[in-house]
Amino acid sequence: MRITRHVDDAVATLTIDDGKVNAFDRELFGELDAAMDECADDNAVVVAGRPGMFSAGLNTKRMAALDDAGMADLLVAFGQTMMRVWLEPRPVVAAVTGHAVAGGTILAMACDHAVAAAGEYAWGLTETTIGFPLPSWVIALARGNVRADRLDDLLLPGRTVGPDAAVEAGFADVVAVPDAVVATAQARARELAALPRSAYAETKRRLRGDAAAAALAGVAGDVATLLAARA
């Protein structure tokens, strides 16, 4: 298992650690879904990475070996899992402990609040640099987070930025020293969990529900476009 769960004061911290770059694959999405299910009785959730690394995104080596059916399954699971995090009724906070590239930035944006580690760490939606068109659901996440005047210049060329610029653009919300990232995220999770639960959940649904539904409806088209590009 690459995800461990620790609960303190009704806040669950899910730590992703594969000992390497926390690359995403089909199994990881299943683990994250299962871990979120286990948090049903918790007041809030923190999603953390390993020291120096939140995630480098999809496992491109494994992707290269997938047939069309495997690729479609991976991409559908990616979209469904990230949208599940985005729509989670309880507060979800990202403790971005280092690099957050591509899928790492996507997961951080899917959370309600993201704490970025200070340092020489990279953020960004770099998919276009490897010939991967950004899926509609990722663009929906970006529109919900990134400043409107920065969308084009960040997403089209797949630019990477540091933690301070990530906050300025909207990928993240605050920067903390690396040793304090998880604790800062947990404190923010407790603050959000102190709000009336039903009002928080319903407001989140109204803010994001329509956009998420529309984005997920486009997953099949996104997959078809990518598979055609591979041919």
Per-residue model confidence (pLDDT) at position 64 = 85
Question: Other C-beta atoms within 10 Å of 128: how many?
Answer: 14
DSSP H helices in the chain: 26-38, 60-64, 68-87, 103-110, 136-143, 151-155, 163-169, 181-193, 197-217, 219-230
- Write out pLDDT tens, residues 204-226: 999 999 999 998 888 888 888 87
Single-letter code of the amino acid located at 61: K
Q: Are 69 and 34 in contact (CB under 8 A)?
A: no
Euclidean distance between CA atoms 223 and 231, whole angstroms: 13
Per-residue model confidence (pLDDT) at position 104 = 98
Per-residue model confidence (pLDDT) at position 228 = 79
Q: What's the first-to-final CA gap in the chain, in angstroms? A: 34
Q: Say what the pTM is.
A: 0.96
Look-up of token digits 């690396």:
178
Our measurement of the distance from residue 43's CA atom to the centroid of its chain's CA atoms, rounded to an integer in Å, reads: 20
Per-residue model confidence (pLDDT) at position 231 = 63
- The sign of the CA dihedral 200, 139, 36, 69 is positive
What strands lie across the sheet with 113-117, from one edge to the other?
Answer: 3-8, 11-16, 44-48, 92-96, 113-117, 174-176
Residues of the chain with pLDDT under 50: none
Burial level of 38, CB count in 10 A (0-12/13-18/19+)? Answer: middle
Per-residue model confidence (pLDDT) at position 227 = 78
Per-residue model confidence (pLDDT) at position 230 = 65
| Domains and their CATH numbers in the chain | 3-230 (3.90.226.10)
